[in-house]
Structure 1
Amino acid sequence: MYLEKLSLTDFRSYAQVDLSLEPGVTVLVGSNGIGKTNLMEAIGYLATLTSHRVSTDAPLLRFGAERAMIRAKLVRGEQSTVLELEINVGRANRGRINRSNPVRARDLLGICQMVLFAPEDLALVKGDPSSRRRFLDELLVSLMPRHAATRSDYDRVLKQRNALLKSARAGKFSTGHEATLDVWDQHMARAGAELLHARLELVDRLQPHLKNAYAQLTDGSKEATAVYRSTLQDSLDDDGGTSRPADSRPADEAAPAEDLRLLSVEQLTDRYIQAFAAARRKELERGISLVGPHRDELELVLGSAPAKGYASHGETWSMCLSLRLASYYVMLDDARTGGSPPILILDDVFAELDVQRRRKLAAIVSGAEQVLVTAAVEDDIPAELTGRRVKVIPGGIDEQENR
């Protein structure tokens, strides 16, 4: 898959801009603050319905505008698809596919396959667990768009359940509320089990690619791994194993830790219901849900130590890049069974890397169907990454220097 045309209206700094692209490598060169990242952000938003820079849609609209439009023409083999996405503040975003009737923005998910590298990716290692959960969920939705509904259902139930727990903490909890909480426990257990099951499968798919990508980018002296830490596992372990089926163990022997990866969605649902019951007193005291995928962690490990707090700056960058490359390789696995190879976007990444890592990254990505790169100066781009150069100027593209 590659992006042939991108058109933006009232998106970020652009009143209107049109960009023609082609397969292979395209480098967009321009001074810092000129709007290169805005172009890449628009592609990323079209693919994921989220921005890698901000958490709300309002900053995506040009100041004073009521809406923003992203239009793109994607080509896959002999087939082309035109996507349109209208971004609104205060009302639902809408999309169109091949100029059809308007659809939910969520219906566009999965059509534009994309992996974006950006300086903000340092948060994948240095940031709090929410950054790593978001990484997993965005990739999950790109691979299987139906999980957008899974995540939405979970967030909705979590919000309702937390509101009920908060009212209990304020002393407004009655026996009637407890029955309502039992109902929300059932809903949250099911939605949480589906999300957890999907995340665990995804981490298993990422694991070998993460290891290989880190080895490709470095001297191979350390191995990169990712370990999913579930609050469900912690809850079951804290419960002393009583929530797991009994066996013939001696009474004084601790129950072995249960491998959540081996459980079905139905089994995980049962475990969550047990965990909610065990945690209820603490949750009522604190007024918040303490168990569930919203509190899980993806622990990144280099060698035998956690990457967060122990990795050097170069190692941190290599780990972040390896996570994105692992995402790319997982998407390629899907492409071999009917999916689409993703567009690769490297937004101002090479300026952050030493010469050796620049060359290694360039060698890895140069074979992709389409690679879009931004840079403030062309000297930041390794010689190995040959291709078209596009000059970005205030408000648009310099067509005379588009070569």
Structure 2
Amino acid sequence: MIVEQLGLKDFRNYAGADVSLAAGANVFVGRNGQGKTNLVEAVAYLATLGSHRVSSDAPMVRDGQDAAIVRARLAHGERSVLLELQLNRQGTNKARVNGVNVRTSELPRYAQVVLFAPEDLQIVRGDPSARRRFADQLIVQRTPRMAGVLGDYDRVVRQRTALLKSARARGIRGDALGTLDVWDEKLVALGTEVIEARLALASDLASPVSDAYAAIAGADHDPRLEWALSVGGADPEEGESMDAAGSGAPLADQFRAALALRRPAELDRGLTLVGPHRDDLVLKVRGLPVKGYASHGESWSVALALRLASAELLRAESRLGDPVLILDDVFAELDAGRRTRLAELAGGYEQVIVTSAVEEDVPEGLRAHVVRVEAGQIKAGDE
């Protein structure tokens, strides 16, 4: 897949922008704060339905405006498709494909992007929510219909939690709250599907992550990833450890048993304490958790390996060709060896988009097409 043209209106600091991109390597160059990352954020949103920088859409709408527009013309071999997205500060977003109105959840069927940015260190070092978001965005790219499942699951969690808070406030306990059973079944049905997709993802990423880590770090530190599941009876969100393998019973049965076990605590706290929204993706190198034990270089290598493995997985499975590989302001953070190895790996993709404050930080092989960015304005490469 290749992004041939990107158009923005009222997106971040762009009143308007129109950018032509080429196959192969493209570099956006400009001082910090000029809008380089905003361009690649817009491209990635079409594929993941989310930002790598913020958890809500409102910050992407230019100050003083009600909506932002993202347009991208994509090439899938000889076929061309035009995607249009309207991000609303309030209310539901809108989307069109080749001029036809579609649900926004349809966009990942046409756009596949893997973006690596300094913020990705939070995947390996931050809270479980960062790792869940990484996994879920990749799941949506692999199976676009999962966007609807994840959205439905989030709504059930919110509604069930609201019921628990109401029950706590009214002093209702145990069997007196019969409506909770209905929400439990919805939670189990949707949550089981999410957990199964995440477990399959971890299994499928294992080999690509190991290969990518060795290629980036120049060493084999036996990187591993596995899910710690709240259906196992504990709570990874609060640091409680558990056997990631579970009990061996069917997943839905484990889910129901965990809900029954935790119901008194849920009623006391007014929170939904069981489900994929409480799980964690445990990352290890040399047999130790990356979070808290890995060096800075190892953490960078794991984060890079996760993204490169994601790209390899999508490349192997997709009919759209290679995903677009985006490297957002990362070369300045890497030592010379990792820079060279990353450039060699990235150069094998149909299209790579790099952002950098300093052009010379980007290896020469990735500087085929240079676009300069200044204060929300696109300049010609030689300006």
Q: Do the aligned residues in 2 keep the contact of 1:217 with 1:361 (CA within 8 Å)?
A: yes
Moved more, 104-113 or 351-360: 104-113
What is the aligned-residue identity percentage? 48
Partner of 1:299: 282
CA distance in 2, matches of 1:376, 1:261: 51
Secondary structure of 2:293's aligned partner: coil
CA distance in 1, matches of 2:367, 2:163: 58
CA distance in 2, matches of 1:64, 1:291: 40
Partner of 1:171: 170
Q: Do the aligned residues in 1 keep the contact of 2:7 with 2:70 (CA within 8 Å)?
A: yes
Q: CA deviation at 1:171?
A: 3.5
Partner of 1:14: 14
CA distance in 1, matches of 2:205, 2:213: 12
Secondary structure of 2:195's aligned partner: helix
Q: Do the aligned residues in 2 keep the contact of 1:94 with 1:105 (CA within 8 Å)?
A: yes
Moved more, 126-135 or 393-402: 393-402
Q: CA deviation at 1:189?
A: 0.8
Q: Do the aligned residues in 1 keep the contact of 2:233 with 2:258 (CA within 8 Å)?
A: no
Partner of 1:387: 368
Choose the corresponding residue for 1:327, options 310, 316, 320. Answer: 310
Q: Do the aligned residues in 1 keep the contact of 2:113 with 2:325 (CA within 8 Å)?
A: yes
Partner of 1:74: 74
Matches within 5 A, 1:17-96: 17-96=17-96
Structure 1 runs of 4+ aligned residues shifted over 4 Å read 174-177, 257-263
Q: Deviations over 1:148-207 (max 9, x none)?
A: 111111111111111122223223426775210111111111111111011100110011
Secondary structure of 1:109's aligned partner: helix
Q: Deviations over 1:252-296 (max 9, x none)?
A: xxxxx7945977xxx322221122112212222222122111110
Q: Do the aligned residues in 1 keep the contact of 2:114 with 2:310 (CA within 8 Å)?
A: yes
Is 1:272 aligned with 2:264?
no
CA distance in 1, matches of 2:234, 2:290: 25
Q: CA deviation at 1:395?
A: 2.7
Secondary structure of 1:298's aligned partner: strand
With over 3 angstroms needed to count, the CA separation of the structure-2 counterparts of 1:351 and 1:145, relative to structure 1, is same
AA of the residue aligned to 1:168 = A
Moved more, 379-388 or 50-59: 379-388
Q: CA deviation at 1:221?
A: 4.2
CA distance in 2, matches of 1:32, 1:290: 41
Q: Normalising by structure 1, report the TM-score.
A: 0.89
AA of the residue aligned to 1:114 = V
Partner of 2:196: 197
With over 3 angstroms needed to count, the CA separation of the structure-2 counterparts of 1:347 and 1:400, relative to structure 1, is closer
Partner of 2:328: 347
Partner of 1:312: 295
Q: CA deviation at 1:144?
A: 0.4
With over 3 angstroms needed to count, the CA separation of the structure-2 counterparts of 1:343 and 1:261, relative to structure 1, is farther
Is 1:288 aligned with 2:288?
no
Secondary structure of 2:178's aligned partner: helix
Q: Normalising by structure 2, report the TM-score.
A: 0.94
Q: CA deviation at 1:61?
A: 1.2
CA distance in 1, matches of 2:282, 2:162: 29
AA of the residue aligned to 2:303 = C
Computing the radius of gyration from Cα coordinates, the structure with the larger value is 1
Partner of 1:239: none
With over 3 angstroms needed to count, the CA separation of the structure-2 counterparts of 1:392 and 1:184, relative to structure 1, is same
With over 3 angstroms needed to count, the CA separation of the structure-2 counterparts of 1:202 and 1:175, relative to structure 1, is closer
Q: CA deviation at 1:234?
A: 3.4
Secondary structure of 2:304's aligned partner: helix
Secondary structure of 1:53's aligned partner: coil
Secondary structure of 1:309's aligned partner: helix
Partner of 2:239: none
Listed as ranges, the gaps of 5+ residues in structure 1 are 237-256
With over 3 angstroms needed to count, the CA separation of the structure-2 counterparts of 1:221 and 1:211, relative to structure 1, is closer
CA distance in 1, matches of 2:223, 2:16: 43
With over 3 angstroms needed to count, the CA separation of the structure-2 counterparts of 1:17 and 1:120, relative to structure 1, is same
CA distance in 2, matches of 1:311, 1:274: 35
AA of the residue aligned to 1:8 = L
AA of the residue aligned to 2:289 = P
Listed as ranges, the gaps of 5+ residues in structure 2 are 236-242
AA of the residue aligned to 1:165 = L
Partner of 1:253: none
CA distance in 2, matches of 1:191, 1:93: 23
CA distance in 2, matches of 1:90, 1:384: 43
Secondary structure of 1:401's aligned partner: coil
AA of the residue aligned to 2:201 = L
With over 3 angstroms needed to count, the CA separation of the structure-2 counterparts of 1:91 and 1:206, relative to structure 1, is same
CA distance in 1, matches of 2:367, 2:61: 34
Q: CA deviation at 1:309?
A: 1.0
Q: CA deviation at 1:109?
A: 2.3
CA distance in 1, matches of 2:227, 2:174: 36
Is 1:139 aligned with 2:120?
no
Q: Do the aligned residues in 2 keep the contact of 1:110 with 1:141 (CA within 8 Å)?
A: no
Q: CA deviation at 1:107?
A: 2.0
